[in-house]
Amino acid sequence: MNCFFRERLNSYFPHLIALFTVSVWGSTFVSTKLLLQEGLTPSDIFFYRFLLGYVLIWFCVPRPVFARSLRDEAVLLLGGVTGGSLYFLTENMALTYSMASNVSLIVCTTPLLTMLLLSLLYKSERMGRKQWLGSLVACVGMALVVLNGHFILKLSPLGDLLALAAAALWACYGLALKMLEGRYSSLFVTRKVFFYGLVTVLPAFLYSPLSVDWDVLSRPIVWGNLLFLGAVASMLCYFLWNIVVARLGAVRATNYIYFNPLVAVVVSFFVLDEHITWVALLGGALILWGMYGAERR
CB 193 within 8 A of CB 76: yes
Nearest-10 Cα torsion for 173, 207, 234, 212? 170
Residue type at 224 in one-letter notation: G
Compute the average pLDDT of residues 100-107.
Answer: 65
Residue 149 banded pLDDT, cuts 50, 70, 90: low
Task: Name, in order, each residue with C-beta under 8 angstroms of 157's C-beta and a sequence gap of 6 or more.
Answer: none
Compute the average pLDDT of residues 136-155.
Answer: 63
Q: How many CA atoms lie within 13 A of 86 on its CB side?
A: 21
Q: E strands within 64-164? A: none
Which is higher by pLDDT, 242 or 148? 242
Helix (H, G, I), strand (E, B) or coil at 63: coil
pLDDT at 148 over 90: no
Q: Is the pTM of this model over 0.85?
A: no
* Angle made by CA atoms 246, 86, 256, in degrees to the nearest 5: 35
Helix (H, G, I), strand (E, B) or coil at 47: helix
CB 80 within 8 A of CB 192: yes
